[in-house]
Amino acid sequence: MNAHLPPDHPPVKQKKIGVLLLNLGTPDATDYWSVRRYLKEFLSDPRVIDTPKFLWWPILNLVILSIRPQKSGANYARIWDKEKNESPLKVITRGQTQNLQERLAADGVIVEFGMRYGNPSTKSAIDKLHAQGCDKILLFPLYPQYSATTTATANDQAFRALQHMRWQPAVRTVPAYFEQEVYVETLAKSIREGVEKLDFVPDLVITSYHGMPLDYLKKGDPYHCQCYKTTRLVREKLGWDKDKIMVTFQSRFGPTQWLEPYTDETLKSLPGKGIKKVAILAPAFSSDCIETLEEIAITGEEEFMHAGGERYAYIPCLNDSPDGMAMIENLVRKELSGWL
């Protein structure tokens, strides 16, 4: 490649293709200041909180960031990977990256991961791919359903990094994949096998999706509809009746109305309706994290059992499981068509 260049010309790297897995993010540790830094970046994102800045800034900096880091830090501590001293989200996303790298190595593809909030940053990941000669990069936001608060802001951050590059790579983005056959089949298999492994038969299976303010739906965000369609497609794939599986929304924040039904209120109400054995999963997440491992697997069980429930089980995300990674590889190869 460098044979015909002038003697004083900088070496030209072999052109390569990069894949960048994009996930939400995580604090670097569970202490107050680490969590505060993370929450400030997260809650300052206008894609997440679209309240006018002059109203939101004093609430965030004078109230929320004075109180919430302690509570969130304690919750992170309940699920923190103490051996690696990292959050499960980071450990799993790194595992997904390494696994996908092994699957694509023979094609000369380089795989990195970046976080929308926290470390490793999206910019640092793009810089690593660029330094290795990647002149084509596929951005893969790890969110099956599209929302401006997830997919869009992940892509925004990547585009911001590209704005400052003198020699930009060509870029593609992976669209929402909630209705892709390979995803529906993989998720359905995960649910079927998860239920079969239990030592009880659930009265109900709950698909709990991360919530968002109802106002975002009214402004045109398609997330709500895509969540319901995900569960419908999976139910049809499993051949289940409509009353066997339901949709709820978790993780609401603040006083405004969010997408309903709420997961926590649903769990508290089910035992009174005679539904005392429940299995639950979180299809909006590709990797287990604080919202799944602490909010659903731990706190959700506490709420359900306290209300009179008898059996409760959390079915993990697809994570870096063989089936989950085969699904991701399938989607990546499809989106790399024409580049490989």
Q: Which residues contact 56 (CB under 8 A, 6 or more apart)?
A: 49
H helix or E strand, kind and range, residue 205: strand 204-210
CB-count burial class (<10 Å; 0-12, 13-18, 19+) for 120: middle
In 27-130, beta strands by DSSP E = 109-118
CB-count burial class (<10 Å; 0-12, 13-18, 19+) for 162: middle
Q: Which of 210, 199, 206 is nearest to 289 (CA)?
A: 210
Structure token pair of residue 19: 């894949």
HSE-up of residue 71 (Cα within 13 Å, Cβ side): 6
Check the annotation: does 83 bind a ligand.
no
| DSSP class of 213 | B
Residue 247 phi/psi, 5° resolution?
A: -105, 135
Check the annotation: does 291 bind a ligand.
yes
Structure token pair of residue 321: 């499981």
Specify the 3-state DSSP secondary structure of 42: helix
Q: Which of 238, 230, 228 is nearest to 260 (CA)?
A: 228
Give the total residue count for the chain.
340
314/317 Cα distance (integer angstroms) = 9
User: Can you list the pairs that 33-36 forms with residues at least 24 positions away whose Cβ atoms lie under 8 Å?
Assistant: 33/69, 34/73, 35/69, 35/70, 35/72, 35/73, 35/76, 36/65, 36/69
Structure token pair of residue 307: 């209300």
Partners of residue 20 on adjacent β-strands: 112, 139
User: Annotated binding residues for Fe(2+), as ranges?
Assistant: 210, 291
Q: What residues are designated binding site?
A: 210, 291
